[in-house]
Structure 1
Amino acid sequence: MKILIVEDEKHLNDLLYDYLLDKYNHSEIDQVFDGFEAIRVIDEKTYDLVLLDVMLPNIDGFDICKHLRKNSSTPVIMLSALNDEENQIKGYDLGIDEFIPKPYSPKLVIKKVEAVLARYGIDNDKLLEYGLIKYNIEEHKILVEDEEVSLNKKEWDLFIIFINNKNRVFTRETLLDKVWGYDFTGYDRTVDTHIKRLRQKLNGASGYIKTIFKEGYKFEK
């Protein structure tokens, strides 16, 4: 399942991301922070659900929804501080599925997400695809060129960080914190060793993990 969060306030975007990942840790969740970027990713990818703020830089949520509805019936949950009746009706007229006023409880958002996904009968268990890779996060399953690959826990954790944050550069220190924890007393080379093993196991997709000189690693086709 693929979910897009469009929210310019980073702390809210990250909060929604964390709650969604906790609930749907088998899903691919993308984050964008402005209207132009939202239009770009919507045109490039197909999502199962979009969480859409209204007040955004460059292009507002209403125009994004209008653009989306030209070619797609993807479920949309609109989030906005513009919670008067007129704006809610405007959203529903554009084809949104739910309108959640700000401030909101993340737990309420998750319940609304559950309801909308159930309404559409969206399947959470299908294999997601990225280039030569197919994967199901809930089942801890990964195939490269249709051959199943076995990863240990640290390799799997690294893969999940990369696949959920494509094109983002991670320093070795950040990866150490995310995978091994803040209390880990090892060295940066621990990351390099596990990245090397992960690359070997990804076979034909090994080149997706790119070394960025003096910065760290990123994941892209």
Structure 2
Amino acid sequence: MDIKILIAEDDNIFRNLVCDIVRKEGYMPIEACDGEEAINMFFNNNDIDLVILDVMMPVYDGWEVLKEIREKSEVPIIMLTALGDEKHEVLGLKKGADDYIGKPFSYEIFVARLNNIVKKVKKKFSDEIAVGNLRIYQRNHKVVIDDEEIKLNPKEYNLLLYLIGNANTVLSREQILDKVWGYNFDGDIRTIDTHIKTLRAKLLEQGDCIKTIRGSGYMFEVEKYENN
């Protein structure tokens, strides 16, 4: 499995350094020199597994790029910046970053954090999930029913994955909101009901597996759950 990492950094020397580290660890770097290029490259490549994102970049800064990516994707993102104080670290994590590394950084710490996230990526994408006639190919977020691909948006996909990952377990709206939308979501909790309704419709007969547990939440009910 080739791990593709988008490295968005406007400092050529520093970007080359990070690319060299990434290559030495056996991964494939893709370079962007500003925020606009980072956004374009990310959305023009549907197989990027990890983003290393500098905060201080021209055109669009790292916060804007992070926001743009998070609206459509849950890809892991490491924020990399000289703004290494606690305030900016908390801000980055609240906005959806998975890790935050200040410059200058220790080579060993950077490699350890990089490999830690890549390990999670490999684990997440290594398996095909099979439930009845439903197949989920995690590498490319592809959902198939009876050999026909079902188009889901990122939230619907993550919702389905969370429900199936907890098959035959009742999940409260609060649990679903925390895991799929994030703890800092400040919208209406009933958005879950809307997404459940849409997901059921898209899954056709398989949608009947998503049960409403009155007064409690939802459950993906199956007789046999396999993870091949």
Q: TM-score range by the shorter chain?
A: 0.5 to 0.7
| Aligned residue-pair number | 124
Taking the aligned partners of 2:63 and 2:4, their CA distance within structure 1 comes to: 21
SS at match of 1:19: helix
Residues 166-181 of structure 1 aligned to structure 2 (within 5 Å): none
**One-letter code of the match for 2:118?**
L
Partner of 1:33: 33
Following TM superposition, by how much is the alpha carbon of 1:124 offset from its aligned partner in structure 2, in angstroms? Answer: 9.4
Partner of 1:12: 14
Taking the aligned partners of 1:70 and 1:121, their CA distance within structure 2 comes to: 23
Q: TM-score by structure 1 length?
A: 0.52
Following TM superposition, by how much is the alpha carbon of 1:111 offset from its aligned partner in structure 2, in angstroms? Answer: 1.0
- More displaced, 99-108 or 65-74? 99-108
Partner of 1:113: 114
SS at match of 1:71: coil
Partner of 1:149: none
User: Is contact 1:48–1:122 with CA below 8 Å preserved after alignment?
Assistant: no
SS at match of 2:29: strand
1:75 aligns with 2:97: no
SS at match of 1:110: helix
C-alpha change, 1:124 and 1:72, in structure 2 (3 Å) is closer
Q: Tell me: higher relative CO, structure 1 or 2? Use CA pairs within 8 A at least 6 residues apart.
A: 1
Taking the aligned partners of 2:107 and 2:97, their CA distance within structure 1 comes to: 19
Partner of 2:136: none
1:51 aligns with 2:36: no
Following TM superposition, by how much is the alpha carbon of 1:28 offset from its aligned partner in structure 2, in angstroms? Answer: 2.6
SS at match of 2:104: coil
Taking the aligned partners of 2:51 and 2:76, their CA distance within structure 1 comes to: 6
Taking the aligned partners of 1:86 and 1:104, their CA distance within structure 2 comes to: 18
C-alpha change, 1:16 and 1:123, in structure 2 (3 Å) is farther
Taking the aligned partners of 1:91 and 1:11, their CA distance within structure 2 comes to: 24
Identity %: 33
**One-letter code of the match for 1:111?**
A
1:3 aligns with 2:5: yes
